[in-house]
Amino acid sequence: MTRPRLPINAPASLRRRGGARGTGAASGSPPLGSGASDALPAIADGPWLLESREVARLLGIGRTKTFQLMASGDLPTIRLGRCVRVPAAALSLWITAQTSAADN
């Protein structure tokens, strides 16, 4: 006995969740960078921990350079098992420290 076919207009996956494609965001949440300003995310608004792609986008550098900064310890990181994340608040402080060090 064969299974009945789904109608052609049925969604591809009934389990798929997510707002902006590829961001891992829950449905209904705004896509990254859709705020009024594309400045660093505020702790209350965005995620507290940032992935390498998000850090690279915020700093305007490539992912390879971001990985190098994270691996060398130049960027503040947190390890959660095998995941390496950058705290948003620490990134903001790091940028402030870098700009004040460049001014001296």
The domains of the chain are located at 49-99
Q: How many angstroms separate the CA atoms of 97 and 92, rounded?
A: 9
Residues 6+ positions from 79 with CB-CB distance below 8 Å: 85
Question: Is 100's pLDDT higher than 70?
Answer: yes
Separation between Cα atoms, residue 73 and residue 30, nearest integer Å: 31
Query: Above 50 in pLDDT, residue 12?
Result: yes
Give the global pTM.
0.56
Angle between helices 52-59 and 63-72 (to 10 degrees): 110
What value does the mean pLDDT of the chain take? 77
What strand order describes the sheet that includes 49-50? 49-50, 83-87, 78-80
